[in-house]
Chains A and B, each alone.
Chain A
Amino acid sequence: MRPIRSFVVTVGLSLMLTLSASAIAQEQITLRFPSWQWGQPGYDEFFTAAIAEFEAAHPGVRIEKIPVASADYADSLTRMFAAGDPPEILQYLSQLYYLAVEADWLEELDDRLATTDIQATWAPYLWDAGNQYGHTFGIWVSGSPIALMYNRDMFEEAGVAVPTNKEEFLEAARALTVRDPDGTVTQFGFALTTKMDNNANIYGLKNFVIGLGGNWGTPAGEIDVMNPANREAIELEKALIDENLVPHGADRVQARKIFWEGHAAMIIEGPWVMTSVRSENPSLLPSIGVALMPFPHQTAGTSNGFAIARDAKHKDLAWEFLNMITSQEWMERYGELAGVTPARQGALTAAALGNGPWLQVFADVESTGLNYFIPGFEAAQNEIDKGVIDALAEVFYGAKPVDSALAEIQALMERLRE
């Protein structure tokens, strides 16, 4: 009898504890907010402030920050969706957004958006980017305008002018690369992502491709791999790598770090790099200039946005949070704190420009910049980027002919079209 009584007591206690915990949990609602931007200067401050205000206005509701590394973000969200447990506050990266729409993971927001002024006030290219199949599934809160950031002091010391075309850019990279007597590079002319492992690290090449007028497809969705501008972009990157003007094997985070630590003269990236410089190495900030990419075209895609998962719990609360952060007041704070150009037109304040006068360059880029995504191939962007980096790895770090790599990319695009 004693073992049975012990068993019954144990089970009873366990049930009581479980029910108590459940009761406590039911009193508080938790909205999970995974993001790759937790810990990133500017973004963290903005979202933390937004959460504080939201929680103050909603007693019993708590928003849980879940930091996820940017390279793992798409995978982490995929796992959550595949498990049928998507986060309540859903922030997405560009590639994942289109896949999520195809996978029918996202709720249509048309009815909710009809009660707001977002369509009337949003930057048109960002509003359009959230529309698929005649419905709006996502709200992009900022775009991804890309510009050339450069270290003025290094340029002055080398007697080099800010480049305005591809040839000047390559010459500047050569002139600004400094080596020790034993050949070790102590200052790179350009901070480029050169790690050949992950499709996220195709970033640097993408900017060259778009800037020089290329892409793997046209805005009409036709395959265009053999566009001479694509070859030109690949050859530009190969020259930078072969002449050791760039750090070898750097991913995006490392490339930015090399720049903000003052070990590289130039970088082509988004406005968030300036926010990082301000946070990580403020003494360098006065030395950094911002100019248009030294190519015939500029690039401005989508950056990060928000949506609501079809299977999420507490959708109304999630929408209230999104509605709050996309308001005029909070979009102005977004520009001021995160140091980026907000998607809401007219939300770039004098204070934001005062903190970051370079934002005007990025705002100008947004009006003319071209997107990397190819209509009809958006959901396959991960596979395209992986295929491109696999095809080009041995072009950049081997003897593989460019033609051979282009033929592989062409075959990939044709297979994906089918």
Chain B
Amino acid sequence: MLPAAIFSVAMVAYPVIRTVWLSVHNGNLARPRQMNDFVGLQHYQRLLGDGNFWHALLVMVIYAAAVTAIAYGIGLAAALLLERRSAFTRISRTLLTLPWAVPGVVAGFVYVWMFDASFGVTNFLMRRLGLIDQPVLWLLKSTPAFVVVILAAIWKTVPFNMLTHLAGLQAVPEELREAARVDGATSWQEFRHIVWPALGNVRVVSILITTLHSFREFGQIYVLTGGGPARATETLSVQIYTESFGYFRFGYASAIGIVLLIASLIFTVATVRTQKTSFF
């Protein structure tokens, strides 16, 4: 037990403690003589008045909500469609799981090229299909760039949701579903009254992990848009990176990180409390 405990403390607790420490000290690498000065809650006070912070928080919330809702929906639908075992469903499940195996940064680069305004395949196909006359400036305008960032995240996240629900569906008592069908229930009624409630805990886990992942997503967003254009896709994670490595303000970045951590904890507690101990 002791080695495991030491490992947990070293790998988890120390970075958090260090970040809290940095958040109450100057932490500006470009001011080495003041870097370790204690500043109390100065960074947190600055956060409250920083429009860029609130904007990044809003972007993060919208991004997480959109990715979670859509990836969850598609993942659930895919799980229901591919529930029955056959050669087709086995192949389909494998193909749908592949995005999960692709590193986020690699996926980001692929999407950058797919949605390139001048040479991207998306504009090429849309023009060929007559859907557009002029190329769409996907990553150069705020709204389209945000859509692409969300799309790329959904593509990466659907496999996780599909797999968790496939596992959850295995745990739904088959006799209940058969009994419902024998009693004349439609597929929709079977889903609504048996399957959906039975997947309650899987749903909680799925939403929780997808949302937390969205909160901390950095690599894919940074490769796609760098948080631009005009901060349209700058989440708190991207802002933390910019403040740290762009401006050397590690203290302020740490304060943002602590706020993100607290937000994640609150969300986790609130979500876990909705878990039930039984199906119904």
Contact = CB atoms under 8 A, between A and B. Distances in A.
A183 B245 contact: no
A103 B230 CA distance: 28
Contacts, number: 87
Contacts of A314: none
Contacts of B260: none
Contacts of A183: 133-134
Interface residues of A, number: 37
Contact of B117 (A104, A197, A248): A248
B239 to A, nearest CB: 11
A249 B226 contact: no
B268 interface: no
Main secondary structure of the interface of B (DSSP, over half): loop
Contacts of B242: 386
Given A249-B117, A394-B229, A99 B248 contact: yes
B246 interface: yes
B139 A249 contact: yes
A382 interface: yes
Contact of A82 (B29, B119, B140, B226): B29
A398 B246 contact: no
Interface residues of B, number: 32
A182 B242 CA distance: 41
Contacts of B118: 185, 247-250
A235 to B, nearest CB: 18
Given A249-B137, A386-B242, A103 B127 contact: no
Interface of A: 74-75, 78-79, 81-82, 99, 102-104, 182-185, 194-199, 247-250, 379-380, 382-383, 386, 389-391, 393-394, 396-398
30 contacts: A74-B245, A75-B245, A78-B245, A79-B245, A81-B29, A82-B29, A99-B248, A102-B30, A103-B30, A103-B31, A183-B133, A184-B127, A197-B225, A197-B228, A197-B229, A247-B118, A247-B119, A249-B116, A379-B30, A382-B246, A382-B247, A383-B247, A386-B242, A389-B228, A390-B230, A390-B231, A396-B140, A397-B137, A398-B141, A398-B142
Interface of B: 29-33, 116-119, 127, 133-135, 137-142, 225-231, 242, 245-248, 250
